[in-house]
Amino acid sequence: MDRRTFLASAGALAAQTPTPKPNILWITCEDIGPHLGACGDKYSVTPNLDDLATRSTVFMNAWSNAPVCAPARTTIISGMYPPSTGSEHMRSMVPMPAGARMKYRSNVPAYSQYVFENTDPTFARRAAELRDAGRHNFIVAGDSYGQGSSREHAALCPMYLGVRAVIAKSIERIHMANLINFGILPLTFENGVDFDNIAQGDELRIVNARDGVASGAGVLVLRNVTKGLDIRLILALTERQREIVVAGGLMNFTRA
């Protein structure tokens, strides 16, 4: 191809009108189901969405492989499996049991008796005994600690039992905020293998915890007195979060 032919071909391609792309508006709502007038609900008053539906394609069934809240929404919106986007972590009832125990949610002392009931039935009793003896309790956990629908009570009830820190391989974002609001220090292992260096009943101390939190330290040292080991912990909090923890929780911080 000579130069003149090449330029003529390039000009012809540039002159072509690009194919218009479809104008798609995807609307998703939180946990409402098909309760819209456009979906046949006689009691819903949704005139704006109904008007939009008359000019749109309405799907009466949208299927997801993850039948619960956030994972399902993520699947529907992205078209990707939840494990591929890290959104599958949901509905763990390990810290606080659901079912028949839900009736105690408004009674913190009663509900606290069932913390970790499914995995460590004597936790609440042991924690309360240490609390009453003037000692603090730590929770040591693995990955994604605090996921589930009872995240508030998963912080509130341990606080009532005298828990002052959660040390985990990782902590779910929303639950971490709840821990801070209830004055519980959220910490993660700098090296995940150190999780195996702590056993139930070990005496643990965080070296200069209050000073470290207040001064902006990014690493604290956990001393396992029982085993004679020092373990480095990551403390990733904003300045305001540090002030809340030092104050003993959001309520105390707000009152100050």
List domains and CATH numbers for the chain.
20-85 (no CATH), 99-255 (3.20.19.10)
Residue 78: pLDDT over 60: yes
- How deeply is 227 buried, as exposed, middle or buried, from its count of CB atoms within 10 A (0-12, 13-18, 19+)? middle
Residue whose token pair is 């911080």: 253
Phi and psi angles of residue 252, each rounded to the nearest 5 degrees, phi first: -65, -40
Percent of the chain with pLDDT over 90: 50
State the average pLDDT for the chain.
84
Q: pLDDT tens across 206-233, in order?
A: 999 999 999 999 999 999 999 999 999 9
CB 152 within 8 A of CB 169: no
State the pLDDT confidence band at 64, using cuts at 50, 70 and 90. low
pLDDT tens sequence across 3-22: 566 555 655 555 566 777 88
8 A C-beta contact, residue 65 and residue 75: yes
